[in-house]
């Protein structure tokens, strides 16, 4: 996959988001998400693709937060984090992939913690409670 295509989709989505053209931003972000998801599956070692995919998920999170769709917003925070958690714990993956997963979690975890702090009472937060409590426990154990 050519980098410039997903990059232009993200740029167009960001431009639309900045100009309050939110429906168009969603279209661009979802197209980028689909492209990056497919490319990440083909090339799981590419940290560039992984980080772009995480960024796209976070863009969708911000967009759905503006729309007031908090459950969907949280879902797009959890998708990459759950993927990275599974990758970091998988015994069959090599250390390079695991290291990339750990680096990615340094981006996903703060975003999830911030979201749950701001929207502690959202339905999605309550439904995700077991996963979120596990994440909170990880933050506590890494701090102490």
* Domain of residue 110, CATH code: 1.25.40
Residue 13 falls inside a structural domain: yes
Residue 138 falls inside a structural domain: no
Q: DSSP assignment, residue 53?
A: H
Distant-in-sequence, close-in-space partners of 24: CB < 8 Å, separation ≥ 6: 12, 13, 16
Please count the structural domains in the chain. Answer: 1
pTM of the model: 0.81
CB 87 within 8 A of CB 98: yes
Query: What does pLDDT average to over the chain?
Result: 82
Region of 86 please: left (phi>0), alpha (psi -120 to 50) or beta: alpha
The residue segments making up the domain with residue 13 are 5-132
Q: What is the pLDDT of residues 22-73, one digit of tens each?
A: 999 999 999 999 999 999 888 876 888 888 999 999 999 999 999 999 989 9
Q: What is the pLDDT of residues 38-50, one digit of tens each?
A: 998 888 768 888 8
CB burial of 112-124 (b: ≥16 within 10 Å; e: otherwise) equals beebbeebeebeb
Q: What is the pLDDT of residues 63-107, one digit of tens each?
A: 999 999 998 999 999 999 988 888 777 777 767 777 777 788 888
pLDDT at 141 over 70: no
* pLDDT at res. 117: 81
Residue 143 falls inside a structural domain: no
* pLDDT at res. 126: 56
* pLDDT at res. 124: 60
Residue 30 falls inside a structural domain: yes
């Amino acid at each position: 996959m050519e980098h410039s295509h997903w990059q232009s989709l993200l740029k167009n989505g960001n431009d639309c988001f900045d100009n309050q053209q939110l429906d168009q931003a969603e279209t661009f972000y979802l197209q980028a998400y689909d492209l990056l998801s497919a490319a990440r599956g083909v090339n799981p070692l590419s940290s560039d693709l992984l980080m772009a995919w995480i960024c796209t998920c976070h863009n969708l999170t911000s967009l759905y937060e503006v729309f007031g769709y908090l459950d969907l917003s949280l879902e797009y925070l959890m998708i990459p984090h759950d993927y990275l958690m599974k990758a970091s714990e998988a015994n069959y993956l090599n250390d390079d992939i695991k290291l990339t997963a750990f680096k990615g979690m340094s981006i996903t975890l703060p975003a999830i913690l911030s979201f749950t702090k701001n929207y502690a009472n959202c339905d999605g937060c309550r439904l995700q409670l077991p996963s979120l409590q596990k994440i909170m426990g990880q933050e506590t154990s890494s701090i102490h």
